[in-house]
Amino acid sequence: MIRSVVFALVAACVFVGCGDDVQFAKAPAKVDQKSTPSTAVPSEPERIPTHGTPDDKPAGSPPADPFADGSAPKIEKNVSAADPEEVVVGGTIEVDPSVQLPTKTLFVYLIGSPTERIPLLARRYDDPKFPLTFEIRRKDTAMGAAVVDKPVWVRAMLSDSGDVMRGRSKTVSDKAFEPYKTRDARLLLK
């Protein structure tokens, strides 16, 4: 009973106190219809110039559009987007003798920390034969585009159903690997 009374008092204070910060807008000024002549022309609304309009620059100034004269910046031909086939991390996965085989699917992930659950990059291997040589490429995105610019851990998981949510023998690497430089990562599935 006391709790409900105290709660009601606190709630009332909060609701009453919130009203102090409300600001009301002023009502628009009324125009006196009797004093305004009926032949008066309404004034033109104030024009707000936008970027690139010809009348917001003095005469003789260069055009607002930097590409208007056809002088677009030159793009060098050797500059390209990141290669989707570029290997981020590669290596070998072996299986501990205590792990039940065969298995239907092996999932290999790159993660940002040993406890991370969301993969940066992921690859699925159906009907794997062990030891398996793997390569995780830039194109093997798991959840949209991923930027891999820090050391990563490798996680491997076996799945008997092929479903990523029903895996077993999840193993994470003991150390982090340098992306784009590591081709000899080794992982033992337990």
pLDDT tens, position by position, 26-80: 766 766 655 555 555 555 555 555 555 455 555 555 556 555 555 555 544 443 4
Residue 40 within a domain: no
pTM, rounded to two decimals: 0.55
What's the pLDDT tens digit per position in 102-134?
788 999 999 999 888 888 999 999 999 999 999
pLDDT recorded at residue 126:
93
CATH number at residue 185: 2.60.40
Instruction: Kindly report, residue by residue over 165-177, the tens digit of the pLDDT.
Output: 888 888 888 899 9
Is residue 61 included in any domain, yes or no?
Answer: no
Cα 158 from chain centroid (whole Å): 28
165 lies in some domain = yes
Closest CA to 136 of 125, 144, 126, 149: 125
Domain that holds residue 120: 87-189
Query: Does residue 171 lie in a domain region?
Result: yes
Other residues' Cβ atoms within 10 Å of the Cβ of residue 142:
16
Query: Position of tokens 């219809």?
Result: 33
Q: Is residue 100 part of a domain?
A: yes
Residue 53 counted as domain residue = no
Q: Is residue 103 part of a domain?
A: yes
